[in-house]
Chain A
Amino acid sequence: MKDKIITTLKILFSFWKTSIAIDMEYRLNFFVEIVSVIGNLSGSIFVLSLLFGPNTTLGGWSWNDSLIILGLYTILDGFTTSILQPNLSRIVRHVQNGTLDFVLLKPFKSQLWLSLRVISPWGIPAVISGFILIAYSLAVNSRMIQSEMILLGSLMLLSSLIILYSLWFLLSTLSIWFVKVWNTTEVLRSTLVAGRYPVSAYPNFLRIIFTFVLPIAFLTTVPAEAILGGVSNVYFIGSLVFSIFLFTSSILFWRFALRYYTSASS
C-alpha cells in the first residue's frame, strides 16, 4: 500500500515536470495571466464598491469581510486555471478522438490520471493574490488570528476545493454520452462568478439555489465565515457532508459512465 502511494506520487511528479516544461515554452502567458489577475481583481473590487455605495454592509457583510470572500473566489479561480481547466477540459477531446482507450489501458487509476495529468503554473498568480487579499483584510480589521480559525478556515477551503473539483468532474464525465460538453463546464464557470459576493446578498430564491443546487455558498461564503470565526455548526457539517457526498458521487458516476463508453468509431 505504502509502495503504491509512493509510486503514484512519483509518476504524478514526473507528469507535472513535463507539463510545466511545456508551459514554459509559452512564457508570454505568464504576463497575460498576471495582467488578467490584476484586471479581474481590481474590476471585482470596483464592482463591490459600487454595490456597497454609501452603505456599510452588503447582505450583512462588512466591506473588509467581503474582501475575504473575494480572496477565496480568486484562490478557487487560480485552482481552476492550474488544475481543473487543463485536465478536465481534455476528457472531451479524449472521448472525441478515442484516445481515452489509452488512458483506460494504463495500470493507473483513470480518474486520477484524467484529473491530475497536467498542472499549469498560470494559476499561481491568482492563488497568491487571493491569499494576500485575505491576509490584508484580516490585518486591516486587526482581528486576533487564532489557530482555531486558521484550522477551521483551511478545512472549509479544502472542502470547497473538493466540491469544486467534484462538480467539474461530474460535468466532464457527461462527455462519455454527449461528446461536446465542453460548454457545460463553461456554464459552471460563468455561474460560479456569483461566488464573488456573499450569498446573503442575493434574493431568497437565488440563495436557495446557491446553497442546495449549485453550492456556491459552500465555495466562498462558508469558508469566509470560518476564517472570521462565525461559521454555524449546520453549515460547517453541511460543507463536509456536501464535499464527501459530491466526491463519492464523482467516483461512482465515473465508473458508471465507463460502462457506456464504447470507444470512438464503434
Chain B
Amino acid sequence: MKFFRALKALLDSQYALMLEYRVEIALWAVSGLLPLIMLGIWVEVDSSNFVELSNEQITRYFLSAFVVRQFTAVWVMVSFEEDTLEGRIAPFLLQPIIPFWRYFTSHVAEQITRIPIVLLMLIVFFIFLPDTFWIPSLLHILLSLLSIILAFWVRFLIHWCFSMLCFWNERASSIERLLLIPYIFLSGLVAPLNVFPNSVKSIAMFTPYPYLLAFPAQLLSGEKVNIINGFAMLIIWGIIFLCISLFAWNKGLKHYSAMGA
C-alpha cells in the first residue's frame, strides 16, 4: 500500500514538473514526425503492383504508427547517465523506493502531458486531409491501448537494462544510438511489415521490435493481425527483460561507487 502511495506521489510531482515544460514536450512530439514523412513517400510510390495495402490502409497504418511512437518514447538512458555522472543518483538510492520508479513515472507523466499535443497534431492532419479520417472500433482502440502500454513497458525495460551500463562506463548512453537502429528499421516505423521480404520479416518477428510499434499500430488501424501471438510476444519479452534488468541492477549497484569515491 505504501508503495502505491509513493508511486502516486512520484507521478503527481513528475506530472507537475512536465507541465512546466509543455513547449519542450510539444517540440519532442514534433520530432516524432518520421512516420508521417514516410507516409508521404509510401502514398506517392506506385506500389499497386507489389504492396497488398491500399493507399487508405497505408495512411491509416502510418498515422497509427505515429500515435504509437508518440506514446512509447523512451529516453531513460540519457537521464540515467546524467544522474549517475553528476552523482544525483546517490540521494535517490537512499529513498525507500528504487530509482526505477522515479524514471518510470517521469516517462508516464510526460506521456500524459503529450496527449493534448498529439490530439492537436492529428486534428491539423485531418483538417488538411479530411478524406483520411476514420474512427477505429472500440474493441480495436482498447486492444491497441493495452498493447501500447505493454510495448512502452517492454521498450522501457530494454533501455533500462542498457542504462545499467552507466555503472561501469561514463558514456554508456552512446549505446542508445545502436539500440535505435533496429528499432527504426525493424519495428515498422519506416515501412509496413507486409512489404518486407519474407526472410527479413521472419527474422524481425523473432525480435521484440515489430511488437513495439507495428503490432499496436496494426491493431489501431484495424488491420488483420494475430492478436494472441502479438500479446504473447510482448509478455514474453517483458518477462525476459524484467529478469535481465533485476540481475543487472543488483550487479551494477554492487559495482557502483558514488562520484568522487
Binding site for B on A (CB under 8 A): 26, 28-29, 32, 35-36, 39-40, 43, 46-47, 50-51, 53-55, 58-59, 178, 180, 183-184, 186-187, 189-191, 193-194, 197, 201-203, 205-206
Given A32-B175, A47-B190, A201-B45, A187 and B27 contact (CB-CB distance below 8 Å): yes
21 A-B residue pairings within 8 Å (CB atoms) = A26-B170, A28-B169, A28-B171, A28-B174, A32-B175, A32-B177, A36-B181, A40-B181, A46-B200, A51-B45, A51-B191, A53-B50, A53-B195, A54-B50, A55-B46, A180-B24, A183-B31, A187-B27, A190-B32, A191-B37, A203-B40
Known: A32-B178, A47-B191, A53-B47. A194 touches B31 (CB 8 A): no
Query: How far apart are A37's CB and chain B's nearest CB, in angstroms?
Result: 10
Given A26-B170, A186-B31, A206-B37, 4 additional A-B pairs, CB 8 A: A55-B49, A55-B50, A178-B23, A201-B45
B41 interface hit (Cβ, 8 Å):
yes
Tell me if A's interface is mostly helix, strand, loop or mixed: helix
CA distance A203 to B129 in the complex (A): 13
A194 to B46, CA, bound (A): 18
Q: B27 near A186 (CB under 8 angstroms)?
A: yes
- Nearest-CB residue, chain B, relative to A180: B24
Q: Which residues of A contact B30 (CB under 8 A)?
A: 187
Instruction: Count how many chain B residues have C-beta atoms less than 8 Å from C-beta atoms of the other chain.
Output: 38
B44 partner, pick from A36, A190, A202, beta carbons under 8 A:
A202
Q: Known interface pairs A32-B178, A36-B177, A46-B185. Does A59 touch B171 (Cβ–Cβ under 8 Å)? A: no
B28→A183 contact, CB < 8 A = yes
Do B33 and A183 have beta carbons less than 8 Å apart?
no
> Which residues of chain A are within 8 angstroms of B182 by Cβ–Cβ distance?
39
Residues of B within 8 A of A (CB): 21, 23-24, 27-28, 30-34, 37, 40-47, 49-51, 169-171, 174-175, 177-178, 181-182, 184-185, 190-191, 195-196, 200
Nearest 5 pairs of A and B residues by beta carbon: A43-B185, A183-B27, A53-B50, A39-B181, A190-B31
**A183 touching B191 by the CB < 8 A rule?**
no
Q: Which residues of chain B are within 8 angstroms of A183 by Cβ–Cβ distance? A: 24, 27-28, 31
Residue on A nearest B23 in the bound complex, by CB = A178
Residues of chain B lying within 8 A (CB to CB) of residue A53 = 45, 47, 49-51, 195
Minimum CB–CB distance from B62 to chain A (whole Å) comes to: 13
Do B33 and A197 touch across chains, with their CB atoms under 8 A apart?
no
Pairwise interchain contact A193-B37, C-beta atoms closer than 8 A: yes
| C-alpha spacing A50/B190, complex, angstroms | 10
Q: Who on chain B is nearest to A186 by CB?
A: B31
